[in-house]
Amino acid sequence: MQDFILALPLLLLGAGTLTALAFSRSGWSASRLGWLLSLFALTSFLLILYAFTLVPSGKALTFTLPWIPSVGLDFSLYLDGLSALFALLITGIGTLVVIYAGQYFGGDASAWRFHAYTLLFMLAMLGLVLAGDLITLFLFWEGTSISSFLLIAYKFKDEAARKGAFKSLFITGGGGIAMLAGFLFVIHLSGGADFKTVLASGGFLRASPLYPVFFALIAFGAFTKSAQFPAHIWLPEAMTAPTPASAFLHSATMVKAGVYLLARLNPALGQTDLWFWTLSIVGLTTMLVGAYLGFKQNDLKPLLAYSTVSQLGVLVALIGQDTEIAFKALVISILAHALYKSALFMSAGIIDHETGTRDLRKLGGLRRQMPLMFGITGIAALSMAGLPPLFGFLAKETLLASATHPSLPPIVDSLFPLATVLAGALILAQAALAVWGVFLGKPADEKHPPHGHDPHFAFWLAPAVPAIISLLIGLTPVEPQFLVEFLADAAKAAYGDKVKISLALWTGINVPLILSIVAVTLGSLLFWQRERIRAWMTDFLPNFTTNALFDGTVSGLDTLSRTATRLQGGRLRVYLRILLLSAIVLVVLFNGIPRQISLPALTWNIEGLNGLRMFSLVMLTVSALVSVFVRRDLYAVIALGITGLGVAMWMALEPSPDVALVQLIVDILSTVILILSLSLIPRKLRDRANELLHSRRGMVRDALLAGLAGLVVAGLAFTALNTRPRESVVSPFYAENAKPLTGAKDIVGAIVVDFRGADTLMEILVFSLAGLGIYTLLHYATRKSSDRTREEPEKRLKPNTPRGVFNLPTSPMLHTLAYIMLPLAFLLGITHMMYGHDQPGDGFTAGVIISLAIAQWYMLFGYYETRRKLAWLNRNNMIAAGLTLAVLNALGGAVFGGGFFSPVDYGRMLRLPLPPGFYLTNSFLFEVSIALSVMGAATLILDNLGHPREEDLEADADLAALEEKQ
Amino acid sequence: MNLLTSLAIGILFAAGIYQILRRNVIRAAVGLVLLSNAVNLFLFSAGAYNGQSAAYSTAAAQISDPLPQALVLTAIVISMGGFAFVLSLLYVISTRYKTSDSDEVKGLKN
């Protein structure tokens, strides 16, 4: 349970975030809230410090929680020297930053948002360095990207802030995804995501042929996060964040995430030539570019940001080395840089806050007004410049020692020291520039000298603490033993071997010291000639910016997404074409073009020809083609009806009489409701639609597409038909068990009503829902005003002269026919229900047959007359009764038969005297319920599609007006 | 016969597709029915064996495969429900947009 202590700081920071949110409406000032929240950060700091004392030297403390055990994923935490170094920096500087942010925003009661983001970021960052496996690390890594986005865009009304936030998220987020891909390789190869496994399989990973791939992916992620050239462009723009955020994220913590990752994985992936060259080249380039660009800046924050870029380059280059001294330099530099840079950023924020500007061209001569700030900034700047007796001096000395290490290969052994000296000189000049430009010298603008004074204690405390620590570490005569051991532990975790650390400033006159003196001299010269050099740099030297690349990428992605969006231009026919084409391509792709079709199979098989089948095929083909080519839609509908008849005939010859019967009556019913619904659409509209022209090209294209689709389907059908007979397990089972289990001679009927009864229940439900859907659509969706109330028809309707479909008068002979047909249809339907088990036809057929007779009424008498005469026809009750009966009947099977839908013969059970051949089974009741619900739904459909519309007249008027306008 | 049957299915299918791609939404509805007819026929061709007799347990000869028949039976019913719904959509389109040209129907608002 001891290791649970690792999770506590994270939980605490999460609680802190929630606290900040909870105080959103409290009206507490930022400063008060800052003090409260700093307690969370401080406690986390102390907890980590305590946890670290539990870690035996050189070992790690781990905490594991199963996350997704099925894929072997854990949430795990890991604390060793390296994590502890970063974790203490994060929580330590975090505590100061929270207090500082409170002072920075002062009485602003809306700054709780900033506090919440800061704590959220601290949580993510701490999780990142404490993560015990690659997946947990990735999770928190993305967390830092997102919370940093929120912090940079804190002043979201400012466009520059939004742009900077987007840029940082785009670059670091993109790097994060590449990194995840690299992680997956590593996890796959090493067989585990946790660091113990990964670090132990270093040799195997380095020997893998995939090593360059995952190395490149992971390095890309680390480089983007740590602002390495050419991905450095996001860091200066992230300076639009409020200064407390910059001090925290962009100096001490987030930008070091990449460095942390590289250092963490160094024992597993490092110490190869590829590692050395990539990290050295990228790191040293970044170091020079950052130092060079920083020297050009006039704004304090970008100046500090570029020097951070430079320092990050140094750290990356150091991890690339394979020497003990490099890792000594690494840990010292990390600590030294975090201390002085956070102090400088916070000081810059104070100067900005007090004087209203950070521009070196407006500041100057503030040493008398702000002596305290002068002192703090001065100390931190001296450390940045790498001058004794500050901690920064030690960092630079060890860096130079590492740069002149004899193990370096040729060329590098001269370039590395040279670049380091040059960058060191430039950084020194920048440090001088910052101090001189703000506190010393004269105000750049004599007429408007800057005004400001030292802030109160709580405000300057935050930058003072790290600055003073920088000074103390350098000044103490005796090396603080715990710090030495602590840094040695951290370096060992990154290097993989023991690293000896000493914090003595004076190591005698040696090469690093001489180089250091050269750098200081050169830096002083640069500072002395700063005006000239800076002007020259601005005018003549390149900017080393890759913004064009970034902008190009972003606008390229924009164009790509616009193109993708254009495919969805709102034209359904275009979608359909794309879908069809894709379906065709996929079918052909996965099936291949059949090569096994033997030619004999393709010849006309005269013996198999069947006159009636032939006739049905010709009938359906020709009528389908007629429906395509005929001009008027009414003719197309009639041709469609004939196609359906042809299909029914073909089915009857299959032979499958049940299906043929259903097809026949459904075809008729479909044609009827199609004609009814056509009558709803104003004639003018339909005529205009009939005249719609398609371009010749469009027609050819559609014909080609349709032809291709038809060919594919024909090919599939041909293959299926030619490979008969096939083995089937299901069909013989049904054939053998239909009679013994259900008592039905009709196997198809038995399948529909008994074997797959639940299917059929769903089917009638869907059919009823279609009816209800139509009702809803026509009654609520099309209603323009709520004036049309839906009264019970029989109350409102008066006798009317019967007028049929299309408002045509109908003959009395037909009326008589309709009167006769309805009872006949009922009779026929009941017979179907009663004997459907042994003959073609079933409840569905019965329902449709009765509906057809009703449809005839609608066609002949029109809506009003039909409703008046058939007032007893209540569709809603029929649907409800049908569905209820179906469910009760199925439950009856469960009660009496031993299972849902189990067959029960109620007739025999109750010993009822029934006519021969008729069995009162629950199958029969199911048929009745099917018939009822189908009748109800069909009547509902007829009712709604047969209803003459008041809107029709309105639409006609609208159309006339429209045409007049044209 | 197999060749002719599959050709007929293909033609029916192609006719359906072509109709669905017309601008006139009424034609598209007609195409939908053609397509469902073609698909039902196609399902028949996916049956496991041929038969000379209807699928009755009393049949003397080899019966036709009852499984695709039962499936097609369901399919016919469902497609009719769907078809009726499509028709009511046609009506809604014609009243709302005063057109039955699918190209003119853009956006789902009034």
DSSP-derived secondary structure letter, A499: -
Q: pLDDT tens digits, residue range A752-780?
A: 888 888 888 888 899 889 888 888 887 77
Query: Cβ of A663 under 8 Å from any chain B Cβ?
Result: yes
Question: Per the domain annotation, does A909 fall within a domain?
Answer: yes
Mean residue pLDDT across chain A: 83
Query: Which string of DSSP letters, residue by residue, matches A40-104?
Result: HHHHHHHHHHHHHHHSPTT--EEEEEEEEGGGTEEEEEEE-HHHHHHHHHHHHHHHHHHHHHHHH
CA distances from A202 to A118, A135, A490, A681 (A): 36, 18, 19, 75
DSSP E strand boundaries for A756-799:
none
Q: pLDDT tens digits, residue range B5-37?
A: 889 999 999 999 999 988 888 888 899 999 999
A717 vs B37, B42, B51: nearest CB? B42
Tell me the chain A residues in contact with residue B108 when contact means C-beta distances shorter than 8 Å. Answer: none
Q: Is A710 helix (H, G, I), strand (E, B) or coil?
A: helix
Q: pLDDT tens digits, residue range A147-200?
A: 999 998 888 888 888 888 998 899 999 899 999 999 999 998 888 888 888 888
Please check the confidence at residue A571 and state whether its pLDDT lies above 80.
Answer: no
Cα A278–A284–A290 angle (5° rounding)? 125
Give the per-residue pLDDT at A785: 40
As a three-state string, the secondary structure of A611-657 is HHHHHHHHHHHHHHHHHHHCCCHHHHHHHHHHHHHHHHHHHHHCCCH
- Is residue A226 a contact partner of residue A86, using CB atoms and an 8 Å limit? no
The rounded distance, in Å, linking the Cα atoms of A623 and A737 is: 40
Give the per-residue pLDDT at A608: 58
Same domain, A950 and A810: yes
> B69 and A637: CB-CB below 8 Å?
no
Tell me the chain B residues in contact with residue A957 when contact means C-beta distances shorter than 8 Å. Answer: none
Nearest CA to A63 among A122, A5, A146, A121?
A: A5
- Is residue A339 a contact partner of residue A391, using CB atoms and an 8 Å limit? yes
Same domain, A298 and A375: yes
Q: Which residues contact A478 (CB under 8 A, 6 or more apart)?
A: none
Owning domain of residue A695: 607-719
Interface test with B, best of A623, A721, A934 (most B CBs within 10 A): A721
Residue carrying the six token digits 């910052």: A434
> B53 and A655: CB-CB below 8 Å?
yes
Nearest CA to A416 among A307, A280, A598, A542?
A: A280
Please check the confidence at residue A251 and state whether its pLDDT lies above 80.
Answer: no
DSSP-derived secondary structure letter, A251: I
Same domain, A848 and A799: yes
Question: Per the domain annotation, does A361 fall within a domain?
Answer: yes
Q: pLDDT tens digits, residue range A795-821?
A: 444 445 556 666 677 788 888 888 888
Give the per-residue pLDDT at A806: 67
Q: How many CB pairs lie under 8 A apart between chains A and B?
A: 319
Each residue of A849-888: b (16+ CB within 10 Å) or e? bbbbbbbbbbbbbbbbbbbbbbeebebeebbebbbebbee
Provide the shortest C-alpha distance from residue B62 to chain A (in Å). 11
Tell me the chain B residues in contact with residue A614 when contact means C-beta distances shorter than 8 Å. Answer: 4
Residue carrying the six token digits 């040696």: A510
Give the per-residue pLDDT at A126: 93
Provide the shortest C-alpha distance from residue A830 to chain B (in Å). 19
Please check the confidence at residue A607 and state whether its pLDDT lies above 60.
Answer: no
Over pLDDT 70: what percentage of chain A?
A: 92
B70 vs A577, A602, A751: nearest CB? A751
Q: pLDDT tens digits, residue range A655-714?
A: 888 889 999 999 998 988 888 888 877 777 777 777 777 778 888 888 999 999 999 999
Residue of A nearest to B6 (CA): A714
The rounded distance, in Å, linking the Cα atoms of A129 and A141 is: 9
Kindly indicate the confidence band of residue A533, based on its pLDDT and cuts at 50, 70 and 90.
confident
- Both structure tokens of A279: 């990290």
B57 vs A694, A725, A745: nearest CB? A745
B101 vs A620, A662, A689: nearest CB? A689
Kindly indicate the confidence band of residue A960, based on its pLDDT and cuts at 50, 70 and 90.
low
Predicted complex: ipTM over 0.85: yes
Same domain, A687 and A745: no
Q: pLDDT tens digits, residue range B33-72?
A: 999 999 999 998 888 777 777 888 777 778 888 888 888 9
A9: left (phi over 0), alpha (psi -120 to 50) or beta: alpha
Tell me the chain A residues in contact with residue B11 when contact means C-beta distances shorter than 8 Å. Answer: 621, 624-625, 710, 714
The rounded distance, in Å, linking the Cα atoms of A377 and A379 is: 6
Give the per-residue pLDDT at A600: 53
CATH of the domain at B99: 1.10.287.3510
Total structural domains in chain B? 1
Residue carrying the six token digits 């052994």: A413
Over pLDDT 90: what percentage of chain A?
A: 13
Same domain, A781 and A685: no
The residue type at A772: L
Tell me the chain B residues in contact with residue A690 when contact means C-beta distances shorter than 8 Å. Answer: 24
Q: pLDDT tens digits, residue range A335-373?
A: 888 888 899 988 888 888 888 888 878 887 788 888 888
Most distant CA atoms of chain A, gap in Å: 126
| Chain A contacts in chain B segment 12-31 (CB below 8 A) | 12-27, 29-30
Highest averaged pLDDT of the listed ranges A389-393, A463-467, A494-498: A463-467
Total structural domains in chain A? 3
Question: Per the domain annotation, does A383 fall within a domain?
Answer: yes
Provide the shortest C-alpha distance from residue B75 to chain A (in Å). 9
> B76 and A657: CB-CB below 8 Å?
no
Give pairs for A157-165: CB < 8 Å, separation 24+: A158/A240, A160/A237, A160/A240, A161/A240, A161/A241, A163/A237, A163/A240, A164/A234, A164/A237, A164/A238, A164/A239, A164/A240, A164/A241, A165/A238, A165/A240, A165/A241
- Both structure tokens of A812: 């009395």
| Chain B contacts in chain A segment 623-662 (CB below 8 A) | 624-625, 627-628, 633, 636-637, 640, 643-644, 647, 650-651, 654-659, 662
B72 vs A602, A659, A944: nearest CB? A659
A766 vs B20, B76, B78: nearest CB? B78
Give the per-residue pLDDT at A605: 55
- Is residue A356 a contact partner of residue A453, using CB atoms and an 8 Å limit? no
Give the per-residue pLDDT at A953: 47
Torsion of CA A245, A251, A254, A260, to 10 degrees: -160
Q: pLDDT tens digits, residue range B93-107?
A: 887 777 777 777 765
> A771 and B8: CB-CB below 8 Å?
no
Nearest CA to A290 among A376, A215, A228, A357?
A: A228
Alpha helices of A404-447 — where are they, by DSSP H? 412-438
The rounded distance, in Å, linking the Cα atoms of B110 and B102 is: 15
Kindly indicate the confidence band of residue A639, based on its pLDDT and cuts at 50, 70 and 90.
very high
Owning domain of residue B21: 2-52+59-104
Query: Cβ of B58 under 8 Å from any chain A Cβ?
Result: yes
Q: Which helix (H) or strand (E) holds A281?
A: helix A273-294
Tell me the chain B residues in contact with residue A658 when contact means C-beta distances shorter than 8 Å. Answer: 54-55, 69, 73
Question: Per the domain annotation, does A520 fall within a domain?
Answer: yes
Same domain, A791 and A935: yes
| Chain A contacts in chain B segment 80-109 (CB below 8 A) | 80-85, 87-92, 94-96, 98-103, 105-107
Tell me the chain B residues in contact with residue A764 when contact means C-beta distances shorter than 8 Å. Answer: 77
Tell me the chain A residues in contact with residue B14 when contact means C-beta distances shorter than 8 Å. Answer: 706-707, 709-711, 713
Question: Per the domain annotation, does B109 fall within a domain?
Answer: no
Please check the confidence at residue A782 and state whether its pLDDT lies above 60.
Answer: no
Question: Per the domain annotation, does A92 fall within a domain?
Answer: no
Same domain, A700 and A786: no
Give the per-residue pLDDT at A422: 87
Same domain, A624 and A491: no
Query: Cβ of A827 under 8 Å from any chain B Cβ?
Result: no
Q: Identify the burial level of A186 via C-beta atoms within 10 angstroms of its C-beta, where 0-12 means exposed, 13-18 middle and 19 or more buried.
A: buried
Please check the confidence at residue A509 and state whether its pLDDT lies above 70.
Answer: yes
Question: Per the domain annotation, does B28 fall within a domain?
Answer: yes
Provide the shortest C-alpha distance from residue A637 to chain B (in Å). 7
- Is residue A340 a contact partner of residue A380, using CB atoms and an 8 Å limit? yes
Give the per-residue pLDDT at B108: 52
Tell me what the mean pLDDT of segment A871-880 comes to: 83
Query: Cβ of A572 under 8 Å from any chain B Cβ?
Result: yes
Same domain, A732 and A700: no
Question: Per the domain annotation, does A21 fall within a domain?
Answer: no
- Is residue B15 a contact partner of residue A624, using CB atoms and an 8 Å limit? yes
- Both structure tokens of A539: 């005018």
Question: Per the domain annotation, does B89 fall within a domain?
Answer: yes
Residue carrying the six token digits 């038809």: A710
Question: Per the domain annotation, does A797 fall within a domain?
Answer: yes
- Is residue A673 a contact partner of residue A942, using CB atoms and an 8 Å limit? yes
Same domain, A699 and A778: no
Q: Is A496 helix (H, G, I), strand (E, B) or coil?
A: coil
Query: Cβ of A678 under 8 Å from any chain B Cβ?
Result: yes
Same domain, A712 and A763: no
Give the per-residue pLDDT at A966: 58
Question: Per the domain annotation, does A491 fall within a domain?
Answer: yes
> B81 and A720: CB-CB below 8 Å?
no
Give the per-residue pLDDT at A606: 55
Residue carrying the six token digits 């601008």: B23
Query: Cβ of A879 under 8 Å from any chain B Cβ?
Result: no
Nearest CA to A5 among A58, A60, A62, A56?
A: A62
A673 vs B52, B64, B84: nearest CB? B84
B11 vs A621, A690, A746: nearest CB? A621
Same domain, A881 and A928: yes
Query: Cβ of A601 under 8 Å from any chain B Cβ?
Result: yes
Most distant CA atoms of chain B, gap in Å: 62
DSSP-derived secondary structure letter, A808: -
Tell me what the mean pLDDT of segment A278-292 comes to: 89
Kindly indicate the confidence band of residue A243, based on its pLDDT and cuts at 50, 70 and 90.
confident
